[in-house]
Amino acid sequence: MKKIHTRARGGLARRLMVEDGGVAIITVTLVGVVVAGLVAVMAVNTLRNYRESREERQAGEVLLLAEAGLDEAIFELNQDNAFATVGAMPAGLDAASEEAWVVAEAAAMATITGENGEYVIVKPEGTDAVYSVAYTPARDVPSAQVQVLKADLFLEPPEPGSPFLPNRGFSSAGNLTIGNSGSAGVYGTTGGVHANGIIAQGGSATVEGCATAYGANDFAAGNPPGCGPATGYYEPIPDVEPILFHSLSIYDLCVEAGVGVVRAGPAHPGPAAPATNGLPCTGDKVGAPTDFGWQLKPAGWDYQGGAGVFYVNGGDVNVARDSGTGASGATIIAAATNEDTLTCNEATGVGSVTGGDIGVAGGTQLTPHPSAGDLALVAGRDIRVRGNAGVWGALLAREQISLGGTPGANNALIGSSPCHTPGSPVDRNEFSGDANITYNGGLAIPNFGVVNPVWNVRIDRWSEL
């Protein structure tokens, strides 16, 4: 038998171990390379996914911002159809030029801060379209994402007869002075006053509810919690124009060749042909003023207790008789004689209204005719109520209202113009003496805003530019 040398056997073992170790090292190295490659691929994919996710998120955010801009623009247009932020857009632009023009206009305007970014509303004058330009994270960031949305607009007229619901006891486009005694003021669950001028406390008068003003406000300290800014606050006040309410007229009071004539108004229920809405005194003649509780005098019209809704087509009105209640009540609308040519210079505070004043004598009690809702008096210029006269409902004056005494249980007063026509009977909105009103809400004034209406604006379509 051949003998194997021991040292040779040991060398072989060592050689095999060395060879196996080399293979292991190579294997480990290869595995490491593969793992590193996989990690690198995963890192690249993760980075790409993160970048894409961030871009998608930014794209979503910038689109939401742009939509927020459109929503705000629609709100502004529903408040004022003439709302615009820039001049007219050049004509004949193609899509690319249109977008470039919008972006350039937006770049020159202040941004509005939104959720995770900023936006600009671009509403060209005279264009039935509005644009919203959004930026994320901000316009001044070089890598900002920009989104431009365009909305084509559709205008829907309001339904005629939609009521106006006053939310104040007294709204004044100019200054307002309230009483000079402790019992004067504005009371009720929906009391409160607003003036786009100043509110002065004539004495120790009271205002229940919020008192807000653009200028100084003597009642600011007494405002309850939850009121808006006591000063520096401007509130749009609807214009009082008698022609707005002509459709309610049952009887048009007209002067023809110096003689008083009553003609059928747009709401006249009888067989006589009614006037065309907005064109007073175009209906059939239905009688003389005395047939309907009126008299024409050299100084103007005297109300003597007739029932109905009366449109006085020019001239002043003196009220010294009670109206009765219910179907016997009376709503009186007095137009100025120069409705087509009157002016108001808000810079100087001087108006040019002729006539259209309503005076209510002390002790007189007036209730609106039910067909006119809660509308009691509309004056083409001023309303002056004296003594302890009681007028229920809403009193609207183009210029000023001077109130004495204590009217009925629920009143809302509006003096819509900051101008005063020299020589008119009232030069400021005021509660004289211990005059006071109570407003508990719920009054509805029909037809306020039907002429020269603010139309409802909605998006006909929108697109991404």
> 408 versus 252: which is more confidently predicted?
252
Indicate the average pLDDT of the chain: 85
Q: Give the type of residue at 177.
A: T
Say what the pLDDT of residue 228 is. 84
Say what the pLDDT of residue 177 is. 95
Q: Which pTM was predicted?
A: 0.66
Whether the predicted pLDDT of 417 surpasses 80: yes
Please tell me the least confidently modeled range out of 109-113, 204-208, 359-363, 404-408.
Answer: 404-408
Say what the pLDDT of residue 428 is. 92
pLDDT confidence of 4, banded at 50, 70, 90? very low
Structure tokens at 212: 């807000």
> 263 versus 58: which is more confidently predicted?
263
Select from 92, 83, 137 the least CA-distant residue to 111: 137
Say what the pLDDT of residue 454 is. 60
Whether the predicted pLDDT of 161 surpasses 70: no
**DSSP 3-state helix, strand, coil percentages of the chain (rounded to 5)?**
25, 30, 45
The residue-averaged pLDDT of 400-427 equals 89
Whether the predicted pLDDT of 343 surpasses 70: yes
Cα–Cα distance, 431 to 177 (Å, whole number): 6
Structure tokens at 297: 């005098």
pLDDT confidence of 163, banded at 50, 70, 90? confident
The CB density around residue 303, as the number of other CB atoms within 10 Å, is 26
Cα–Cα distance, 290 to 292 (Å, whole number): 5
Distances (CA, A) of 37 to 29, 30, 44, 243, 268: 12, 10, 10, 83, 92
pLDDT confidence of 179, banded at 50, 70, 90? confident
Say what the pLDDT of residue 157 is. 65
Q: What is the pLDDT of residues 189-242, one digit of tens each?
A: 888 999 999 999 988 899 999 999 999 999 999 999 888 899 999 988 888 999
Share of the chain above pLDDT 70, in %: 82
State how beta strands 429-431 and 176-178 pair. Answer: parallel
